[in-house]
Amino acid sequence: MNKDLRRLTDGLIAGGDHEGLLNLAKELFFAANDLPAAEEVARAARDAGSSRALPLLAIALDKQGRFAEAESAYREAIAAGHDESLLQLADMLFSDQPRLDEAEELARRGAELGAISSNFVLGKILARQPGREAEAEASLAAEVHPDIRPAAQFHLGQLLMGIPGREADAERALRDSGIAEAQSLLSALLHRIPGREEDRIEALRRAAEGGAQGAWNSLTIALKELGRLDSAEAAFRDGITRGATELLPYYGDLLRCQGRPAEAEEVLRAGLPTDPKCAWVLGVMLLEAPGRVDEGRELLIQAAGAGVVRAAIVLAQPR
């Protein structure tokens, strides 16, 4: 916490302004994403008498991976009448297999009280328990809150993908979700169904444009597998323009394999400061270029030193 923030916080504490402390904690959590500072200010707001700071304090601790402290804070919030903390604690316990029964009990209590997201959280918990797929499906499908339903439909699609014969229902749920990660999962589903190549490509494109992790790379791989190299190249350029710089070594390698060394070198040099795989691909290319063997070896040494094992393998080969 910097000096100005410390001075502001101390002033609010001295004045007993728990409302001001709560608002500051929210600003630090949601806008600044400063979890330690949000925790400290939320704790001060609680100590100043604001029970409304309890859920925020619990979430800040949860997000920092301090689960034992978070659980205590969630339970304090629940005791103070914050029903939404029932679901937040259940969601935290969801990742702890031995405590699924406890998480389910909390989620059901939240559902009885009408807490937002109860169907979603309960459905996720049930989906992790073999033999309870039908209950999980019913719970996830029942989530209607507009801010939560997209995630519920994603988990529903994921659940249905694992049930033989439910591919059409899984596809429907994933399309209904609309979130980028659901489109990425949809592409994996369509990859298993003969004749759905175009639909798979379209799903990958939506996932990539929506920011799903790894989707641009998956899209370029899929296009290359289909022999659509011009489309793959266009996807590489589009992805890099949108900030997917992890594509640079793979785009450079595509250009190298197409016999376009000057273009490949330009692309790969753009990635040298941040991605050692670019040094590996460019090093391999320069080893084969007349008069540039030493330069290629230096790049391979650089890549190997940064942990690119394949660069070390190339260097070990006799020449």
Q: Per residue in 122-140, pLDDT tens? A: 999 999 999 999 999 999 9
Q: What are phi and psi of 302, to 5 degrees?
A: -60, -45
Mean pLDDT of 139-159: 97
Residue 95 has pLDDT above 90, yes or no: no
CB-based contacts of 190, cutoff 8 Å, min separation 6: 171, 196, 197, 199, 200, 203
Q: What is the pLDDT of residue 71?
A: 96
Q: What is the pLDDT of residue 11?
A: 93
Q: What is the pLDDT of residue 3?
A: 85
- The 10s digit of each residue's pLDDT in 178-199 is 999 999 999 999 999 999 999 9
- pTM equals 0.85
Q: Do 298 and 318 meet the contact criterion of CB atoms below 8 Å apart?
A: no
Q: Do 8 and 24 meet the contact criterion of CB atoms below 8 Å apart?
A: yes
Residue 139, both tokens: 């719970």
Alpha-carbon distances of 241 from 12, 213, 235, 281, rounded to whole Å: 46, 16, 10, 21
Alpha-carbon distance of 30 to 43, in angstroms, equals: 16
Q: Which helix (DSSP H) or strand (DSSP E) does residue 125 occupy?
A: helix 118-127
Alpha-carbon distance of 53 to 19, in angstroms, equals: 9
Residue 295 has pLDDT above 70, yes or no: yes
Per-residue pLDDT band for 319 (boundaries 50, 70, 90) equals: confident
Mean pLDDT of 262-269: 97
- The 10s digit of each residue's pLDDT in 249-261 is 999 999 999 999 9
Q: What is the pLDDT of residue 50?
A: 92
Alpha-carbon distance of 83 to 109, in angstroms, equals: 9
Q: What is the pLDDT of residue 291?
A: 95
- The 10s digit of each residue's pLDDT in 5-48 is 889 998 999 998 989 999 999 999 999 999 999 999 999 999 99
Q: Percent of the chain scored above 90 by pLDDT?
A: 93
CB-count exposure of residue 68 (10 Å: 0-12, 13-18, 19+)? exposed
Q: Do 69 and 79 meet the contact criterion of CB atoms below 8 Å apart?
A: no
Alpha-carbon distance of 242 to 227, in angstroms, equals: 24
Count CB neighbours of 73 within 10 A: 28
User: Could you state, in order of their start, the residue ranges of all structural domains in the chain?
Assistant: 162-228, 244-319
Alpha-carbon distance of 93 to 72, in angstroms, equals: 13
Lowest mean pLDDT among 69-78, 91-100, 144-153: 91-100
Per the rule left: phi > 0, alpha: psi between -120 and 50, beta: everything else, 289 is: beta
**Mean pLDDT for the chain?**
95
Residue 4 has pLDDT above 90, yes or no: no
Q: What is the pLDDT of residue 318?
A: 80
**Three-class SS state of 236:** helix
Alpha-carbon distances of 237 from 21, 122, 228, rounded to whole Å: 47, 42, 15
Give the residue from 65, 69, 64, 28 showing the smallest Cα distance to 45: 28
Alpha-carbon distance of 235 to 218, in angstroms, equals: 10
Per-residue pLDDT band for 97 (boundaries 50, 70, 90) equals: low
Residue 134, both tokens: 């039908």
Q: What is the pLDDT of residue 98?
A: 81
Per-residue pLDDT band for 248 (boundaries 50, 70, 90) equals: very high
Placement of tokens 């759905």 in the chain: 196
Mean pLDDT of 114-118: 93
Alpha-carbon distances of 199 from 176, 194, 265, rounded to whole Å: 15, 11, 34
Q: What is the pLDDT of residue 82?
A: 95
Count CB neighbours of 268 within 10 A: 27
